[in-house]
Copies of this chain bind each other. A is one copy, B any other.
């Protein structure tokens, strides 16, 4: 980080006798900024293998240069293919738009690079399947891959998963998952690539229902067997470069999911929920207890233990900021809350540890594919008057196994 220093700095992280891992990142918009923050800081808090923020890749030379300087990357490049071929690159972090995911990820995996890929896995199911096959082939060669459902690394949600896995809720009966935003509430907000099916795949469904559905699978460690769905576009035309243009993706979506365990989850997402800024709300109702969560207060978990006497039952607001909580020992003293961006810091910590230990990181591309199949089924159902679509034979979700490094 400095031009002149007397004591050469170690590469970030702990080398453990190996050469540091070279990291290349592709894309430097919102997700690139967030991932860079994680790469820049992860080794200041966690004991991770040594790595170097080597190359930032983007199409615009000036833009990528400015971003590299701000975000701590040593070099820049404009051709991702050339970077993937470099011997000093062991990790490729893909923050490019969804329609580029398949091509880059498959190429990187085939080149033997560990891949961290932003969610959703892909814009289409066919792409997602091809990517998963590539990930499976690479894994057999010791090349790891991970899809970036970063909310699995919210400490409160990692704690939620622990409590469920420990049986504190008993049998889970139903889940309410909603992800509500309002950035499209203004009907005069302009057309963007996110509102076109050809570039975005879908709207709120792929963008935020993917997170909500991944949480259902993550928290319950379960699989979806049936889906009924519905999508809607409230504002069908928006001002574009050439006048009003048609919005070809959904503003909001609703679904019910049957899970193999017998649980049922409702999912509701919206980009027009005025006043809800980034509210991923999760409610899990079990026989012996329940959990509540809202991403706008991500340092908190609501927990009701129905096994204590009725007289003293109530939802507890656990401020998930104690050394006893997942990931928190690395941070600040109790009550000093952490920000949204550290979901990525934790994600990259776990990704690095998985590479180091040779364990497949979670969530895998298979997990990403499972979400994709469910999203696809929601669209299929929506096109068929919400009639239930079976996912049997193409089970969506994998029984959860905690990797040893995760959340510890």
Binding site for B on A (CB under 8 A): 1-12, 20, 30, 34, 36-37, 40-41, 43-44, 52-54, 68-72, 74-76, 159, 163, 169, 173-174, 176, 178, 181-183, 185-187, 228, 230, 232, 234, 252, 254, 256, 262, 264, 266, 268, 270, 272-279, 283, 285-290, 295-299, 301, 303-306, 309-319, 321-322, 324-325, 332-342, 381, 384-388
B residues within 8 A CB of A159?
311
When all copies of this chain in the complex are counted, the total is: 4
Among B9, B270, B311, the residue within 8 A (CB) of A74 is B9
The answer to whether B319 touches A277, judged by C-beta atoms less than 8 angstroms apart, is yes
The answer to whether A69 touches B10, judged by C-beta atoms less than 8 angstroms apart, is yes
A96 to chain B, nearest CB (A): 18
Among B43, B75, B334, the residue within 8 A (CB) of A183 is B334
B residues within 8 A CB of A334?
183, 277-278
CB-nearest residue of chain B to A311: B324
The answer to whether B72 touches A34, judged by C-beta atoms less than 8 angstroms apart, is no
Among B296, B319, B384, the residue within 8 A (CB) of A335 is B296
CA distance A306 to B277 in the complex (A): 12
B residues within 8 A CB of A254?
256, 264, 266
CB-nearest residue of chain B to A14: B69
The answer to whether A274 touches B256, judged by C-beta atoms less than 8 angstroms apart, is no
Some 14 contacts from A to B, beta carbons below 8 A apart, are A1-B74, A2-B74, A3-B11, A3-B20, A3-B52, A9-B69, A173-B272, A273-B285, A273-B290, A275-B285, A295-B335, A296-B299, A311-B318, A338-B339
Among B266, B297, B317, B388, the residue within 8 A (CB) of A386 is B388
B residues within 8 A CB of A296?
299, 319, 335, 337
